[in-house]
């Protein structure tokens, strides 16, 4: 479409904005298993109101908006008090898990690099480590995980070489929901003088409240030198919010971009972005203040109860977790059932299913909203398992975060992903 000559009436603009949502993930009804984390309508209303109040505030300048500096530093302190209560950390408020990992890796490169160019990660680490490596001119060394899909401390330690800049691990990893053995890995890395970044994007505000988990994963663990925790996941803030916390100021300085040569003035930047809305900082602040320890614990307990119902119900159908998850994120499959056909059948019944490969499995991130709908899901799943639709080649691709079709004519999977992005930006209506 082209820009209209005359601006449209308000009602028409709102109608078009609303209409565009028709094809979106129906997350409010609980029909999807990823992408939107929330803690109920009342909580979201509060968080959105706080965010809307600061939507136009610009995080580029904490001098002009001390409110945002206040929200960000308070959020960092609250998160630190949960993740590593015994250690002082030096944080940066970022826009999400990816930016946190990118800035963490930049910090190691610029504060401790000394020519070291390789990030060592288990195969289950988030692709944001690979993205960081590509953007920062580094390399990743990817190490196979053990049978439980956790990083293998021995294999990771063996992969640390003279060129290793940092080791990255997950708490938990996204594909399987299991936490890497942080303590032995951090100890082995520390012996070699190498830092460890713990990506606790998903688990940072969840694992500390899971009954019986009890393993520290933050800066209290000797050898862990940075950790990231997303507020827009199980912190129930607005999207664009993550806490990146370093063990030392020296490391945090490595994440900064500082420039004094520009005629427009000096720039002191602790983020990848320039201008950014104050929504996310105000939303994260409001969310944590409203929930407190008790609220976070209660949501975790409710979600773990729902997770248990889901795992047991799927198990009764023969679909079991690929590995026993440490929290509310897991993959479930079955050697004797065509999982892709099951996913397709569920999609035909209105569910938005995430499918991953290696092995083929349905992927679940359980939220508060699923408590009300898990029984309906299990009823539908039972019907589909009993009578699965024929497998469609068009739905054969498993892809994270994007629904990539493999019927585009592109033989190479990387070409298929490129085609997907081209299509996303080239669409005309």
Ligand X SMILES: Cc1ncc(COP(=O)(O)O)c(C=O)c1O
Interaction site with ligand X (CB under 6 A)? 96-98, 126, 128, 170, 174, 199, 201-202, 230
Task: Please give the residue whose beta carbon sits closest to ligand X in the complex.
Answer: 97
Choose between 213 and 341: whose C-beta lies nearer to ligand X.
Answer: 213
| Shortest reach from residue 16's CB to ligand X, in Å | 28
| Shortest reach from residue 23's CB to ligand X, in Å | 21
Per-residue tokens: 128: 């944001």
| Shortest reach from residue 125's CB to ligand X, in Å | 8
Choose between 128 and 319: whose C-beta lies nearer to ligand X.
Answer: 128
First to last CA, the chain: 6
Choose between 95 and 395: whose C-beta lies nearer to ligand X.
Answer: 95
Per-residue tokens: 194: 């190498």
Pairing state between β 164-170 and 139-143: unpaired
**What is the rounded CA–CA span in Å between residue 237 and residue 277?**
14
Closest residue by Cα to residue 79 from 68, 90, 69: 90
| Shortest reach from residue 129's CB to ligand X, in Å | 9
Count other Cβ atoms within 10 Å, centred on residue 40. 13
| Shortest reach from residue 130's CB to ligand X, in Å | 12
Choose between 36 and 155: whose C-beta lies nearer to ligand X.
Answer: 36
Choose between 168 and 278: whose C-beta lies nearer to ligand X.
Answer: 168
For 217, the enclosing helix (H) or strand (E) is none
Choose between 104 and 221: whose C-beta lies nearer to ligand X.
Answer: 104
| Shortest reach from residue 198's CB to ligand X, in Å | 10
Choose between 96 and 321: whose C-beta lies nearer to ligand X.
Answer: 96
Choose between 170 and 248: whose C-beta lies nearer to ligand X.
Answer: 170
| Shortest reach from residue 227's CB to ligand X, in Å | 12
Contact 215, 22 (CB under 8 A): no
The packing angle between helices 97-112 and 128-136, to 10°, is: 40
Exposed e or buried b per residue across 72-81, where buried means at least 16 C-beta atoms within 10 angstroms of its C-beta: bebbbebbbe
Contact 238, 212 (CB under 8 A): no
Contact 101, 237 (CB under 8 A): no
| Shortest reach from residue 347's CB to ligand X, in Å | 21
Strands of the sheet containing 329-333, edge to edge, are 320-321, 329-333, 361-365, 354-356
Closest residue by Cα to residue 105 from 191, 225, 281: 225
Three-class DSSP labels, 248-298: CHHHHHHHCEEECCCCCCCEEECCCCCCCECHHHHHHHHHHHHHHHHHHHH
């Amino acid at each position: 479409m082209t820009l209209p000559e005359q601006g449209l009436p308000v009602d028409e603009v709102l109608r078009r904005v609303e209409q565009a949502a028709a094809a979106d993930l129906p997350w409010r009804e609980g029909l999807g298993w990823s992408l939107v984390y929330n803690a109920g309508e009342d909580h979201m209303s509060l968080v959105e109101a706080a965010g809307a109040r600061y939507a136009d505030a610009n995080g580029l300048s904490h001098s002009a908006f001390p409110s945002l500096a206040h929200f960000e530093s308070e959020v960092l302190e609250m998160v630190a008090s949960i993740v590593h209560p015994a250690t002082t950390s030096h944080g940066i408020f970022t826009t999400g898990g990816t930016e946190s990992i990118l800035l963490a890796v930049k910090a190691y490169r610029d504060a401790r690099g000394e020519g070291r160019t390789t990030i060592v990660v288990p195969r289950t680490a988030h692709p944001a480590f690979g993205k960081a490596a590509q953007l920062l001119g580094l390399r990743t060394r990817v190490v196979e995980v053990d049978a439980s899909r956790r990083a293998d401390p021995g294999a990771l330690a063996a992969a640390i070489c003279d060129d290793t800049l940092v080791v990255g691990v997950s708490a938990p990893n996204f594909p399987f929901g299991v936490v890497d053995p942080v303590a032995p890995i951090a100890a082995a890395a520390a012996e070699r003088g190498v830092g460890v970044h713990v990506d606790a994007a998903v688990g940072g505000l969840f694992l500390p409240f899971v009954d019986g988990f009890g393993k520290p994963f933050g800066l209290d663990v000797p050898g862990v030198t940075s950790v990231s925790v997303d507020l827009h996941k199980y912190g129930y803030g607005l999207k664009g919010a993550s806490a990146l916390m370093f063990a030392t100021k020296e490391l945090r300085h490595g994440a900064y971009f500082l420039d004094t040569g520009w005629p427009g003035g000096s720039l002191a930047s602790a983020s990848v972005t320039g201008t950014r809305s104050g929504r996310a900082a105000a939303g994260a602040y409001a969310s944590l203040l409203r929930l407190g320890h008790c609220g976070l614990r209660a949501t975790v307990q409710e979600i773990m109860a729902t997770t248990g119902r889901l795992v047991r119900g799927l198990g009764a159908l023969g679909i079991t977790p690929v590995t026993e998850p440490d929290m509310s994120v897991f993959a479930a499959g079955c050697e004797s059932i065509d999982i892709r056909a099951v996913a397709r059948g569920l999609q035909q019944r209105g569910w938005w299913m995430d499918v991953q490969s290696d092995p083929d499995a349905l992927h679940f991130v359980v939220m508060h909203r699923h408590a009300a709908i898990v029984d309906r899901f299990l009823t539908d799943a039972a019907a589909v398992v009993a009578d699965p639709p024929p497998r469609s080649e068009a739905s054969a691709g498993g892809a994270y975060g994007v629904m990539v079709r493999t019927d585009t004519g592109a033989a190479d999977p990387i070409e298929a992903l490129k085609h997907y992005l081209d299509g996303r930006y080239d669409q005309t209506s």
